[in-house]
Structure 1
Amino acid sequence: MQLKTHLIAAAVLCAAAAGVQAQTVRIANQGDSLSMDPHSLNESLQLSVTGNIYEGLVGRNKDLSLTPLLATSWRQTSPTVWRFELRKGVQFHDGTPFTADDVLFSFARTQVDGSDMKSYTNDVKEVRKINDHAVEIETKAPFPILPDVISLVYVMSKKWAETNQATRPVDRRKGIENAASFRANGTGPYRLRERQPNVRSTFVRNGNYWGKIEGNVQEVVFTPIGNDATRVAALLSGEVDLMEPVPVQDIDRVNGSANAKVMVGPELRTIFLGMDQSRNELLYSSVKGKNPFKDKRVRQAFYQAIDIEGIQKTVMRGASKPTALMVGPGINGFDAGQNKRLPYDPEGAKKLLADAGYPQGFEVTMNCPNDRYVNDARICQTVAANLSRIGVKINLAAETKGTYFPKILRRDTSFYMLGWTPGTYDAHNALNALMACPDDKGTGQFNLGSYCNPKVDQLTRSIQSETDKAKRNAMIKEAFEVHSADIGHVPLHQQSLAWGISKNVDVAQLADNFMFFKWITVKK
């Protein structure tokens, strides 16, 4: 481990030495983007990194409002049809012109097996080419928030994908890779120059970019450094210029240093626990012949056994907001009046377990990442300790996200942690992706425990097409009420953002934790 750390530091320093005049910024993260394929994994770090190379028809401003990217304008021509006028004169990094054919190809690519982006396009009926610089997107039902929904659907070059045998996204569940895993050809402000998975990725400014690049960074060296102490040391010593997350216990130390500071802000991500509610027998449990998580009393016992205030105080050191909902403040549809957690009640939880037929508790495996969310493994350890007090023995399987995500995404889990930021900044996204009954079209794609309630499904469909905001928000509230009453999942908290930055670097921190290189400036 020590040798690997020295190699990482040496690689970062060499890159810095080569790029002093070129305004290089060196970024470290606790994990790596698992692929350069923009459709292979719906995970915010991956989409943040690839969002510097690729672009969608629409994107986000610093305040997360919509902004034109590859489309210059859009309008509804009927309740189910949107027309997008495409930007002219745009080239992919290899010089190929961007046209409507690339849009049709990319939307179709998000719907094939291996794509992790189905939940963003599962309600698209057809994408039609009007001419080289105009397309129509027809939805299966009225969809007033379609532009928000497709802001993370990045456009690839049809010609490049065909030439490189990358017409289908890689399937992270099966460990399959193709050319798009390691190479990239987008229209964005930065090009991929070098890709060494889990070691280093280097990006350079796109000199032919169609738009304005606000910052002055010519080169970005992105290095995964999983060890918290090593990552903080790299920032304090000047080996990296920008890193995240800063461990909550190190925030004061970084702020007290001469050369670095911490940018702290609220994040839209909700951290929650899910349970397999589909199988008749859990894959990883001491209970045989039945599934205890099908019983609401068991799910509620788990919920009320978790000391969320203790987690906030001792694990997160105040850098979290406990929640009762699957979305947080800043997401359309969030209702503070609903945000009341069930009380922490270990004795009540024991009684619920006994009433459900488990007076001595039971044993179950919990899957958890150790390099994806703030203090993720420590949170899971604390949850395991909490549950042991009601007789539940947790076999904790904490692992790097590179193996964790493929495992849980193929639903090879009984009990798991997940974090979710609605890419649309609207509650419908969480309902559609996390709470709706899973199908083969993308609905419920991240409902990994297969929670299912027909009323939630009906409301989710109605919310999608409702144009009256008051009626729509009332339906969102009702859907959350049903889900909460079912204990469909166990919401934990919204974590806070903590980016460590050199004092000679300016960067825009977005509440969705996306980091755009075009908004980074290295001060001379």
Structure 2
Amino acid sequence: MKVGNLALVAALAGPLLLAGPLAAETVRWARSADALTLDPHANNDSPTRNLLQHIYDTLALRGNDGKLEPRLATEWRVLPDDPTVWEFKLRQGVTFQEGQPLTADDVVFSLNRIRNEHSALKGLHKNVVEVVAVDDYTVQVKMDGPQPLYVQNLTNTFIMDHEWSEEHDVLEPQNYEAGESNYAVRHANGTGTYKLVERVPDVKTVLTYNPEFWGEKPAVDEVVFTPIKDNATRIAALLSGEVDVVQDVPVQDISRLENSPGFQVSVGPENRSIFFSYDLASDELETSDVKGKNPFKEPKVREAMSLAVDRDTIQRVVMRGNSDPAGMPLAPFANGWTEALNAYPAPDIAQAKELLAEGGYPDGFSVALHCPNDRYVNDEAICQAVVGMLAQIGIKINLIAQPRAQHFALIENWTTDFYLLGWGVPTFDSQYLFDFLVHTRDGSYGSYNGSRYSNPELDAKIEALATEADLEKRDAMIAEIWQFVQDERIFLTVHNQVLAYAMRDGLNLAIHPENQPNMATITLD
């Protein structure tokens, strides 16, 4: 397929939120983790984005079916006479929660702000050269070359009010990694369905319906969000009536809740893979008993580890059937996934031991494994299972499980030898994963490349994806990159995550493929 005078135009859309019977309704929502900040451009953490999408809005959004929907932009296209320019037509009559009208100036400001060095989402906009307001409701984005899929990068780009940001001195994003703060960390002014009423981090956030919202009024007027880290406590809160919706249902509780009168459970696949990765660059591992060498640099060691991990047993025992074992860190939702690339080996302990010996470690070695204990479904239990499996081939693991804020900092700061990570692909395209996890870290690319992997030749191929307008050729390039990534065993993939939401009877909330459910989409029986 050739993309020449490409015109991707979303039909002019009316209100998109299909609500149930209109009635004053408060929904008390709990999940395992709180947002890390309310600054819309400071952090790329999924729970953070999930809370923010209730307050802020984007130019386009992924629906529950995975398709792009128009939001603040009603239509978009690549200019027929210049394939390097995207044009967006904005929805008219939209106002921010404090009353200011949305104009092209706010979109230009937001797209420039998110490209700031302190933004965790700048990688999505690294090919932007200039953003221009053509008129009050038209924005043009000049790219450094043809970018046929750029609109897919906008589903997590929240639009801020320029005037409000200037008034409160938040023209630049919070430097979250440095521990800095600003007014936007605890205050918000968006165009979303709800406005912020109360915010006590890690305790409670209260949102109420925004009467200035441009779309249809939802069935839920008030949202009370409570992060509850402990699984048992979270489910007990649902069963006792303290909360109405639980987003992170432990796999061991799904069946019980399905059979409990007064409750229902939604189950479905997530666009997220769970995998391990390791320091592939250091000459010596900080936490290993091997000195002067790095066992992870040896391909046979990585192959041995993959053969030692029994993915099917993890699915059956640890996940109680609620996972999709996988061999590549990409869910079937995303462009680039194939059955062949996703194939994984049957466990073979004898062969794994042979490979470990051939790689120079007949007696194995020790190393620390860092694992979050509050981010993914059964994350610590997955790590515990893999510790036991690797012990069978002589790799002795010191498991360090801790909250996600500390865990992710280790990956970003290159202070972990071996770690668990989960990765979603909001663009539904492999380039997102390559840009963040495979490309050499250089300030624009590789921000979550905790493995330190670096290959200039592969970097060039990844960068070329962004400007390749022939989509068939581009897909072939993606397949070539994936084959290289898999052959190098940069990742030790375990499975794709399966989600479960539980709720009291009378509420209906569908599984969102990116685990980004919006309480405004709840319908009432």
TM-score exceeds 0.5: yes
Provide TM-score, normalisation by structure 2.
Answer: 0.92
Tell me the residue number matched to 1:23: 25
Q: Which residue among 406, 411, 424 is the counterpart of 1:408?
A: 411
> Which sits farther off after the overlay, 32-41 or 192-201?
32-41
Tell me the residue number matched to 1:59: 61
Tell me the residue number matched to 1:480: 482
Contact 1:304 1:345 in 2 (8 A): yes
Matches within 5 A, 1:114-193: 114-193=118-197
Q: Distance in 2 between matches of 1:401 and 1:131?
A: 43
Matches within 5 A, 1:460-499: 460-499=462-501
Contact 2:24 2:219 in 1 (8 A): no
Matches within 5 A, 1:121-270: 121-213=125-217, 215-270=218-273
Contact 2:60 2:71 in 1 (8 A): yes
Q: Which amino acid aligns with 1:420?
A: W
Q: Which amino acid aligns with 1:121?
A: H
- For residues 104 and 284 of structure 1, do their structure 2 counterparts lie closer, same or farther at Cα, with a shift above 3 Å needed? farther
Q: Distance in 1 between matches of 2:349 and 2:173?
A: 45
Q: What's the CA shift string for 1:156-199, capped at 9, x where partnerless?
A: 12222222222222233232222211111111111111111111
Tell me the residue number matched to 1:339: 342
Q: Which amino acid aligns with 1:349?
A: A
SS in 2 for 1:285: coil
> Which sits farther off after the overlay, 60-69 or 224-233?
60-69
Q: Which residue among 75, 78, 83 is the counterpart of 1:79?
A: 83
Provide TM-score, normalisation by structure 1.
Answer: 0.92
Q: Which amino acid aligns with 2:512?
A: L
Q: What's the CA shift string for 1:445-501, capped at 9, x where partnerless?
A: 222212233443233233333333332222222111110000011111001111011
Q: Distance in 2 between matches of 1:29 and 1:62?
A: 19
Q: 1:418: Cα distance to partner?
A: 0.9
Q: Distance in 1 between matches of 2:387 and 2:208?
A: 44
Q: Which amino acid aligns with 1:314?
A: V
Tell me the residue number matched to 1:382: 385
Tell me the residue number matched to 1:519: 521
Q: 1:366: Cα distance to partner?
A: 1.2
Q: Distance in 1 between matches of 2:294 and 2:139?
A: 48
Tell me the residue number matched to 2:296: 293
Tell whether 2:329 aligns with 1:326.
yes
Q: What's the CA shift string for 1:222-270, capped at 9, x where partnerless?
A: 1111111111111122221110211111111101111111101111111
Q: 1:351: Cα distance to partner?
A: 2.3
Q: What's the CA shift string for 1:321-376, capped at 9, x where partnerless?
A: 11111212121221123221133222222222222222222221111111110000
> Which sits farther off after the overlay, 418-427 or 107-116?
107-116
Q: Distance in 1 between matches of 2:418 and 2:455?
A: 19
Q: Which amino acid aligns with 2:479?
A: K
Matches within 5 A, 1:367-378: 367-378=370-381
Q: What's the CA shift string for 1:65-115, capped at 9, x where partnerless?
A: 112212121111122111112222221111122222222222222222321
Contact 1:173 1:407 in 2 (8 A): no
> Which sits farther off after the overlay, 107-116 or 316-325?
107-116
SS in 1 for 2:129: strand
SS in 2 for 1:350: helix
Q: Distance in 2 between matches of 1:131 and 1:81?
A: 16
The runs of 5 or more residues in structure 2 that have no matched partner are 1-22
Structure 1 vs Structure 2: percent identity of aligned residues? Answer: 41
- For residues 113 and 284 of structure 1, do their structure 2 counterparts lie closer, same or farther at Cα, with a shift above 3 Å needed? farther
SS in 2 for 1:492: strand
> Which sits farther off after the overlay, 286-295 or 122-131?
286-295
Q: Which amino acid aligns with 1:24?
A: T
Q: Distance in 2 between matches of 1:260 and 1:411?
A: 44
Q: 1:312: Cα distance to partner?
A: 0.9
Q: What's the CA shift string for 1:203-235, capped at 9, x where partnerless?
A: 11100111224x311100011111111111111
Q: Which amino acid aligns with 2:211?
A: G
Tell me the residue number matched to 1:16: none
Q: Distance in 2 between matches of 1:286 and 1:178?
A: 43
Q: Which amino acid aligns with 1:518?
A: A
Tell me the residue number matched to 1:50: 52
Q: Distance in 1 between matches of 2:387 and 2:180?
A: 33
Q: 1:296: Cα distance to partner?
A: 1.6
- For residues 172 and 302 of structure 1, do their structure 2 counterparts lie closer, same or farther at Cα, with a shift above 3 Å needed? farther
Q: How many residues align?
A: 501
The runs of 5 or more residues in structure 1 that have no matched partner are 1-20
Q: 1:281: Cα distance to partner?
A: 2.5
Q: Which amino acid aligns with 2:183?
A: A
